[in-house]
Amino acid sequence: MNTILNVVWLVLAGIWLWIGYMLAGLLMCILIVTIPWGIASFRIANYALWPFGRQVVSKPTSGAWSFIGNVVWVLLAGWWLALEHLVTGVIMCLTIIGIPLGIANFKLIPVSLAPLGKEIVDA
């Protein structure tokens, strides 16, 4: 079932979300100072491309620097990625078949706002 949901997700939303995260990551990697945010964006892009069967968990070793980095991330790119998930989720929820995909989009909003201090693991 995860594979079917991932394929439908990939066609309807995954590619566009992946492109958004990749653009954010490339923009972050232009400046040397923001490379950690670019790496986090690339990591979340791969998750946004194929989310079902995986989950995001907090790293126990992340601390205050992750929080400060997430605040900077929200100001630089996180808010428009969260908006992308919100709009895509609302559009997906307009059909009965798209409701699970819309819910998955809504679950990605916290990750898009705070990618640092998180890791992706198999469910």
Q: By residue range, what is the domain housing residue 20?
A: 3-122
Q: Residue 13 burial by CB count (10 A; 0-12/13-18/19+): exposed, middle or buried?
A: buried
Residue 110 has a pLDDT of: 92
Enumerate residues 6+ apart whose C-beta is below 8 A from 28. Answer: 34, 35, 37, 38, 41, 76, 77
Give the pLDDT score at 20: 92
Considering the entire predicted model, what is its pTM? 0.88
| pLDDT tens, residue by residue, 47-105 | 999 999 999 888 888 788 888 989 999 998 889 999 999 999 999 999 998 898 999 99
* Residue 14 in this model has a pLDDT that exceeds 80: yes
Q: How many domains, in total, are found in the chain?
A: 1
